[in-house]
Amino acid sequence: MKKELLKQIIRDFHVTPLPALKLKRRTLQVPVDTGKIITLVGVRRSGKTSNLFNLIEDLLNKSVPVNTVLYVNFEDERLNLKTEELDLLMRSYQELYPDIQLEECYFFFDEIQNIDGWDTFVRRIYDKGMKNIFITGSNARFLSREIATALRGRTICYEVFPLSFHEYLNFKGIVPDVNSTKSIAHINHHLVDYLKNGGFPEVIDYDAPLRNRVLQEYFNVMIYRDLLERYEIKNLPALKFFLKRILSSATKLISVNNIYNELKSSGFKIGKSQLYENLDACVNIYLAQILRKHTKSPVDRELGDKKIYAIDNGLLNSLDYKFSDDTGKALEQVVFLELRRREQEIYFYKDKSECDFIIRHGIEITKAIQVSVAMSDEKTRKREIRGLTDCCNEFGLQKGLIITRDSSEELDLNGIKISIVPLFRWLLS
């Protein structure tokens, strides 16, 4: 009976058009011919399944026969497969299509971590010559570092984040023209919404009450499934206090020691080591991200100052941390997340002055980026320029970038060329 069900699921996918809502294009470029298992990881509801459907659509557009594509969503409650039953999937497919060689097929396994022993199954079919394998998983049982261990060098991981601003406009049906005054006004109107509401794909067209309810539900799932269940965290009140503190500190330096003292003075009984583990867990499930201070010593970078960033502005605002009142924070959050999407290795610089982001390639610092809402206030202007030029001098850079809400200017200060650009232009570049 289970084999017949699998045949039905396989065949239904082949005779049913791809879901239109999932075919809005993402900019993440995932190759299909690496000979490696491709794994998509990221925060819940960020669009990993949509990226799978984008890949399938690309294959079909290249005249790959649809019946050589095997897509299975392992969250389908009808499946309920045990480890030893995973082979039924391959046997069911071969009985449906006996003339198709499995080595010629493309396998898309969505949320496969729901099956115990999935990694042994995937490794085995890969080693038998089935090289076109694409998998996704939620964060509760499927972290990128665990994938690398489980699949032992056979995989390449790609991170999926909530929508970039370019993708956000695309989902809204807007084709930006950065040289048209009318288009720029339209772009900036939507940028205001993006800065406040974030980029989780499902909610971008929801009204504010519904959007906030859905985002709050995302957060609750992360707490109860990803943190409590996955990491077996027992002290829920202390965890909620900890999460509120780190998320309300987005874009700022984070001190676990200070949070520990606050918890202790409030009567919570929890060890400091547990708080460090909680922070690691939040990073692992992509709820929060850490930015380290750049130092020459890797040990000092690991143990030194850290800033905290959240995965999405809309999620922060839905939790009522008054984040929407601070445009500067919202800008810095968006720039940080965009740099992460662009797979940059980023740090912050801090000595006598500060620079928000520096980009490193190998052992070389290649870019310095400052973020400021505006440059009209003289005190702010001096502080931002000083932080950027000090950073450039430290690393021998001849160029620096300041991203603002809407300012545009070119400066040349002691041989350092500083470009001041509005956020929308940088995001769409």
pLDDT tens for the chain, 429 residues long, are 889 999 999 999 999 988 765 568 889 999 998 999 999 999 999 999 999 999 999 999 999 999 999 999 988 888 888 888 899 999 999 999 999 999 999 999 998 887 888 899 999 999 999 999 999 876 556 666 677 778 888 999 899 999 999 999 999 999 999 999 999 999 999 999 999 999 999 999 999 999 999 999 999 999 998 898 888 898 999 999 999 999 999 999 999 999 999 999 999 989 999 999 999 999 989 999 999 999 988 888 888 899 999 999 999 999 976 666 789 999 999 999 999 999 899 999 999 999 999 999 999 999 999 999 999 999 999 999 999 999 999 999 999 999 999 999 999 999 999 999 999 999 999
69 inside domain: yes
363 inside domain: no
414 inside domain: no
CA distances from 299 to 15, 268, 293, 305 (A): 55, 31, 11, 12
The values of phi and psi at residue 31, to 5°, are -75, 155
Query: Biggest alpha carbon distance in the chain?
Result: 77
32 inside domain: yes
pTM: 0.93
77 DSSP 8-state letter: T
**Other Cβ atoms closer than 10 A to 233:** 18
Token duo for residue 17: 């058009």
Q: Which of 248, 225, 218 is nearest to 310 (CA)?
A: 248
Are 357 and 368 in contact, with CB atoms under 8 Å apart? yes
Q: Coil, strand, or helix at residue 299?
A: helix
212 inside domain: no
401 inside domain: no
Region label for 286, one of left (φ > 0), alpha (ψ between -120 and 50) or beta (otherwise): left
pLDDT score recorded for residue 139: 58
pLDDT score recorded for residue 116: 81
270 inside domain: no
pLDDT score recorded for residue 245: 94
**By residue range, what is the domain housing residue 47?**
2-160
Q: What is the pLDDT of residues 46-102, one digit of tens each?
A: 999 999 999 999 999 999 999 999 999 988 888 888 888 899 999 999 999 999 999
Q: Which of 343, 281, 291 is nearest to 143 (CA)?
A: 281
27 inside domain: yes
The CATH number of the domain where 127 resides is what? 3.40.50.300
Number of domains in the chain: 1
